[in-house]
A and B are shown apart, each in its own frame.
Chain A
Amino acid sequence: MMLIQCPHCGPRAQVEFTYVRSMDSIVPLDSTPEAAMATLYARDNPRGVSDEIWRHTHGCHQFMTIRRHTVSHDIVAVVPFGEALPS
Chain B
Amino acid sequence: MTGPCRILTDIEPSLRFSFDGKQMFARPGEALAAALLGNGVNLVGRSFKYHRPRGVMAAGVEEPNALVTVGEGARATPNTRATDVFVYDGLVARSQNAWPNIRFDLGAILGLSAPIFAAGFYYKTFFGPPKLWMFYEHFIRRAAGLGPSPKVADDDQYDHRAAFCDVLVVGSGPAGLKAARDAALEGQRVILVEQDAVLGGSLLRNGADVAAIEATRAVVLGAAGRVLTRTTATGVWDQGMVTLNQLLVEPGQAGDTGQRHWHVRAKQIVLATGAIERPMTFANNDLPGVMLSQSARSYIKRFAVLPGQRAVIVTNNDDAYLTAQAIIEAGGEVVAILDARAEASAVAQKASERMTLHLGAAVVKATGNADGVRAVEALVGGKPMTFAADLLAMSGGFSPVVHLHSQAGGKLEWRDDLQAYVPGVVGQNVISVGSAAGELDPVGGTAPTLKKPKKSFIDFQNDVTAADIDLAWQEGYRSVEHLKRYTTLGMATDQGKTSNLPALARLANAAGVDIPQAGLTTFRPPYTPVTLGALAGPDAGGHVAPERRLALYDVHAAHNPIWQPLGYWHRPRAYPLAGETLHQAALREARAVRNCVGMIDVSTLAKFAVKGPDAAAFLEIVCATPVAKLAVGRGRYTFNLREDGMVMDDGTVWRLGETDYLLTSSTGGAERMEAHLSYVQHVLASQLRVSVVAQQEHFAGIALAGPQARAVLESLTGDAAAAHMGVARGMIAGVPVLILAASYSGERAFEIYAQGHAAKPVWEALEAEVRTRGGYPYGLEAIEFLRIEKGHVVVGGEADGRTTAHDLGLEKMLNKKGGYVGASALARPALSAPDRLQLVGLESLGGSVPEGAMLVAAQGKPVEGHVTSAALRIDTEQGIALALLKGGRARLGETITATSPTLGIHTQVRVVAPHFYDPEGSRYRD
- Report A's interface with B, CB cutoff 8 A: 1-3, 13-14, 18, 20, 26-33, 35-37, 40, 53, 55, 57, 61-63, 71-75, 81-82
* Chain B window 826-844, contacts with chain A (Cβ cutoff 8 Å), 1 for yes, 0 for no: 0110000000000000000
Q: Known contacts A3-B241, A55-B675; decide if A36 and B683 are in contact (CB<8 Å).
A: no
Q: A3-B239, A27-B643, A81-B683 are in contact. Are A18 and B828 (CB under 8 A)?
A: no
Verify A33–B828 contact, CB threshold 8 A: yes
B 662-692 to A, binary, CB cutoff 8 A, 1 in contact else 0:
0000000000000100110011111000000
Contact call B824/A81, Cβ cutoff below 8 A:
no
Q: Which residues of the partner chain A approach B684 to less than 8 Å between Cβ atoms?
A: 26, 28-29
| Closest B residue, CB atoms, query A26 | B683
B588 beta carbon closer than 8 Å to chain A: no
Cβ-based interface call for B821 (8 A): yes
Interface residues on chain B, number (Cβ under 8 Å): 28
List the A residue with the shortest CB-CB distance to B240. Answer: A3
B819 located at the interface, meaning its Cβ lies under 8 Å from any Cβ of chain A in the complex:
yes
Taken together as a complex, chains A and B put the C-alpha atoms of A5 and B60 apart, in Å, by 40
CB contacts (< 8 Å) of A75 on chain B: these are 239
7 extra interface residue pairs, beta carbon distance < 8 Å, beyond A3-B240, A29-B823, A33-B828: A1-B237, A26-B684, A31-B824, A36-B824, A57-B675, A72-B427, A74-B427
User: How many Å from the CB of A5 to the closest CB on chain B?
Assistant: 10
Residue of A nearest to B821 (CB): A29
Looking at chain A's contact residues, is the secondary structure mostly helix, strand, loop, or mixed?
A: loop
Q: How far is the CA of A24 from the CA of B827 in the complex (A)?
A: 22
Q: Are B675 and A73 in contact (CB under 8 A)?
A: no
Task: Using CB atoms and an 8 Å cutoff, list the residues of chain B in contact with chain A.
Answer: 237-241, 263, 265, 409, 427, 621, 643-644, 675, 678-679, 682-686, 819-821, 823-825, 827-828
A12 to chain B, nearest CB (A): 11
Instruction: Please judge, given known A-B contacts A27-B824, A37-B825, A74-B427, whether A82 and B686 are in contact too, CB under 8 Å.
Output: yes
Chain A residues positioned under 8 Å from B675 (CB to CB) = 18, 20, 55, 57
B409: chain A residues at CB < 8 Å are: 71-73
Contact partners of A14 in chain B: CB under 8 A: 238
Residue in A closest to B239 when the chains form the complex, CB atoms: A3
Contact B825 A20 (CB under 8 A): no
Which chain A residue shows the least CB distance to B243? A1
Q: Which of A1, A32, A82 has the most CB of B within 10 A?
A: A1
Q: Is the CB of A32 within 8 A of B238?
A: no
For residue B265, which residues in chain A have a CB less than 8 angstroms away from its CB? 3, 13
Cβ–Cβ contact B683 & A3, under 8 A:
no
Contact B683 A37 (CB under 8 A): no
Q: How far is the CA of A3 from the CA of B239 in the complex (A)?
A: 6
Q: Is the CB of B824 within 8 A of A33?
A: yes
A55 to chain B, nearest CB (A): 7
Q: Which of A1, A3, A32, A55 contacts B824 (CB 8 A)?
A: A32
Q: Which residue of A lies closest to B235 (CB)?
A: A1
User: Contact between A63 and B682 (Cβ–Cβ < 8 Å)?
Assistant: yes
Between B237, B825, B827, the greatest number of chain A beta carbons within 10 A of the residue's beta carbon is seen for: B825
Shortest C-beta distance, B410 to chain A (Å), equals 11
Q: How far is the CB of A65 from chain B (nearest CB, A)?
A: 10
Q: Output the nearest chain A residue to B643 by Cβ-Cβ distance.
A: A27
